[in-house]
Amino acid sequence: MFWTPSIAPAAVGYAVPIPGGDTAARHIDADDLTVIGTQDGLMYVRLATGALLVLDAKSLQRPIGILVPLDKHWGARIDILKALRAQLLYRKRSPPPLTSQQRRRIQLALRTLDARRDRASYQTIARQLFGAEAVSREHWKTSSLKAQITRLSGHGTHLTTKGYRFLLLGRGPTGRSKPRK
């Protein structure tokens, strides 16, 4: 399944040829993209910048524009398109919507949630994530790792129930548009 604007408004835009062929507009160089799939005559591509676009193959050699639906996600779409414009026109990379620490925490939270769904104990999960030696350094009942696994489990539950929607809108897992500093 491919991400579509209705599912991930901050990740995908429709690239369309500009009527009249405005030569000042940017076209997409085939070297700058990786095709990740095709469906219904459209190509789903990942640009070298990391952005995902939906386009017709005939659009590649023509100046393009991005079609933006006027819907409740307009703000998120415009924010991501501003970053895409800077990347395409000026080769400026915008900071990722998540810091490396946030990405790591999400990974650990989802691994913890998967293990809990497989009925693993918190102590078993801690051994897998942090190593048996780290777990054995403290008494388990009062261990900081036990508290961390508990928080990770709660965060994983939050992400899978509603937090993922914030990620698809280009925001952090708590709904903030930019990471904390």
Regions of the chain where pLDDT drops below 50: 1, 178-181
Residues 69 and 110 in one domain: no
**Is residue 5 assigned to a domain?**
no
What is the per-residue DSSP string for 48-85? TTS-EEEE-GGGTTS-EEEE---STTHHHHHHHHHHHH
Residue 132, CA distances (Å) to 26, 75, 127, 136 in order: 54, 46, 5, 6
Tell me how many degrees the CA angle 68-72-75 measures, rounded to the nearest 5: 60
What is the per-residue DSSP string for 129-169? HH-HHHHHTS-GGG-HHHHHHHHHHHHHHHIIIIIHHHHHT
pTM for this predicted structure: 0.57
**Is residue 55 assigned to a domain?**
yes
Residues 131 and 106 in one domain: yes
pLDDT value, residue 173? 60
pLDDT value, residue 74? 82
Residues 82 and 120 in one domain: no
Q: Which domain holds residue 158?
A: 100-168
Structure tokens at 1: 């399944």
pLDDT value, residue 140? 94
The 10s digit of each residue's pLDDT in 160-174 is 887 776 776 666 665
Q: Which among 173, 143, 134, 179 is positioned nearest to 156, based on CA atoms?
A: 173
**Is residue 95 assigned to a domain?**
no
**Is residue 69 assigned to a domain?**
yes
Residues 81 and 114 in one domain: no
**Is residue 39 assigned to a domain?**
yes
Q: Which among 169, 144, 172, 146 is positioned nearest to 158, based on CA atoms?
A: 172
pLDDT value, residue 180? 44
**Is residue 4 assigned to a domain?**
no
Identify the domain boundary among 58, 90, 122. Answer: 90
Phi and psi dihedrals of 27, rounded to 5? Answer: -110, 160
What is the total count of domains within the chain? 2
**Is residue 147 assigned to a domain?**
yes
Q: In what order do the strands lie in the sheet containing 42-47?
A: 33-39, 42-47, 52-55, 12-17, 64-67
Place of tokens 């990620």: 167
Identify the domain boundary among 90, 122, 138. Answer: 90
Number of neighbours of residue 117 by Cβ within 10 angstroms: 10
**Is residue 175 assigned to a domain?**
no
pLDDT value, residue 179? 45
Residues 42 and 112 in one domain: no
